[in-house]
Homo-oligomer: A and B are copies of this chain.
Amino acid sequence: MTLSTSGQQNSSSIRIQDAFWNKFTELVRDTVIPYQWEALNDRIPGAEPSYAIRNFRIAAGLEEGEFGGMVFQDSDVAKWLEAVGYSLANHPDPELERTADEVIELIAKAQHENGYLNTYYTIKEPGGQWTNLHEAHELYCAGHMMEAAVAYYEATGKRRLLEVMCRFADYMESVFGREPGKLRGYDGHQEIELALVKLYGATGEERYLKLAQFFIDERGTEPNFLVEECRQRDGYSHWAKKKLPIPTAEQMAYNQAHKPVRQQDTAVGHSVRAVYMYTAMADLARLTGDAELLEACRRLWDNTTKKQMYITGGIGSTHHGEAFSFDYDLPNDTVYAETCASIGLIFFARRMLQLEAKSEYADVLERALYNNVIGSMSQDGKHYFYVNPLEVWPKASEQNPGRHHVKAVRQPWFGCSCCPPNVARLLSSLNDYIYSASAGENTVYTHLFIGSEASFKLAAGQVALKQESRLPWEGCARFELTAVPEAPVTLALRIPSWSGGRAELRINGAAEAYEVENGYAVVTRRWTAGDVVEWAPALQAQLTAAHPEIRANAGRAVIERGPLVYCLEETDNGSPLASLSIRPDTPLGSEYVTDLLGGAVVIEAEGFREEQDSWQADTPYRPLAVRRPAEPVKLKAVPYYLWGNRQPGEMTVWIRTQGQ
């Protein structure tokens, strides 16, 4: 199929109008973006200060003071601006746009004469530029600002920030490269690569694509740039604030720089870095037709999603380095599953869908979106999980230091606040994830069932459609074609993995057979404006088991219903949740409850609770033979994304199963 050069070009032609998602997009627009603006300006009482805007003011010479926050603090402003861009595209707001314009002017003022832009190195370590790519996130921050520039430009047509970032990219080209005197290096935290691809998409300037490719191609080659750079610094570490032993190339696995990217086949190291890199690799494979890169993307996708992904779409199972550990090591309680990592996985999935429309990519995208990502944000939009556990015992989170990183309650903001603005930019650009179009093949793919109005320019002409969806509560989406060309057009509707392949298609009220291609129901015909396509993938609550190699889930099952993973909370089921179990064949009753956190389908089932009355409090162990039968109880499960919005307490996704 013919592929588009940028993923953004359709964004303004797709608008979400959806009973489930409207509240999230409105929350982002009405609460999260304003709240984060306050946070960036250090005006949230009781929350850790961000310093992010203040840093730009100081760098711009408008204020005196010290740099504050993390070395990558600039990226929070960038992510906020990017979210603002998407939000403005969908929902004009002159006041917000004026605020953004002011921020952009501030950023422009902080830019150096030569194009360089980074408040940390401007304020705190002038002259230290490009000496610690390993740790100091200079290109990472630049990448986020480029993404913001593109989003803002595409939303408003305003080029100011785009030009600032093009100047920076042009300057980068003079710094990095294989020519003598240039740095043959790359950033310790990938992000610039995917951002340069976006800059290329927005400007058509091929040199930005080439620079992205340079960074990807150099990564992990010998001699290892990050190791050599560390040697140049005599081992000095920004984070340790002292000299450390020079790391080996193998240790650069944390940064996915232990070997060339085309030779990598296992997801290793810091999970956000990994998926941002995979995203760029997929972009480049698509835009350059690099088959070797595509193969690497497929291998890394498989390893990430089939061996190292939680059922919630979370990735990265250890908080030590916020990293992947190894295949099937997916502990539920000492989990990491960082919000940003799932967002990066969604980016990667979307790029893989652009490369090849296979439903498995969208299945994972949907899983991460409906569970890990939206679960990270409180219903008020002001509190966030950074770590998204599948099992919480609040007392352990407080009193067992190995679980301090797992919070039982969402936090107002973070010293290292990467996650909240990342959620905001994803949710405010969600319209970009619903469809993709193959113009040359006159095909419109529907990946997500989210109510929306969309139009696509195909070779055959313009197609416009209106989707109405009852997801995630019912398996039912209705498409009305509002504009169609004369020539045949293919509609490809994803057959979700949760439907078990059972999905009914009706066209203008009549049941229709369909062919299946790569997990999509495919219908090619000449359409008439007003045609109605109804799509009903089977959506029912079911128990799901984990691969036996995932030891943490042995003898346990999870309740899933459509795209939603469910969990048990103490507030509904008492404590300890570990005492509860369920029979594999128990019917799962679904009921939509309007008064639960804005309305949700709750699942009730017969279960069992290990009895505790016959235990003496001072008997830790006793013969199993004296046990009494478990007591029948009614289990109540709520969608995972809603957990922790009522009374704090235990939560578990995986439930013990009884019998075989």
Contact = CB atoms under 8 A, between A and B. Distances in A.
Contacts of A618: 302, 306
A546 interface: yes
A190 interface: no
A305 B621 CA distance: 10
6 shortest A-B CB distances, which residue pairs?
A320-B401, A554-B578, A551-B578, A543-B624, A325-B400, A545-B624
Nearest to A268: B399
A208 to B, nearest CB: 36
Interface in A352-400: 393, 395-396, 399-400
Interface residues of A, number: 67
Interface stretch (A114-122, A529-537, A608-616): A608-616
Contacts of A584: 624-625, 627
Contacts of A627: 545, 584, 660
Given A320-B402, A329-B396, A543-B623, A555 B555 contact: yes
A399 B308 CA distance: 13
Contacts of A402: 318-320, 334, 402
Contacts of A548: 576, 578-579, 610, 612, 615
Nearest to A308: B620
A652 to B, nearest CB: 9
A659 interface: yes
Contacts of A610: 548, 554-555
Contacts of A549: 576, 612
A621 B542 contact: no
A227 to B, nearest CB: 21
A361 to B, nearest CB: 14
A20 interface: no
A400 B329 CA distance: 8
Contacts of A552: 578
A326 interface: yes
B659 A658 contact: yes
A581 interface: yes
B317 A622 contact: no
A307 interface: yes
Given A307-B620, A543-B624, A558-B621, 19 more contacts: A320-B401, A326-B396, A329-B395, A402-B402, A500-B623, A542-B623, A544-B622, A547-B615, A547-B619, A548-B579, A548-B610, A548-B615, A549-B576, A549-B612, A551-B577, A554-B610, A554-B656, A624-B657, A659-B659
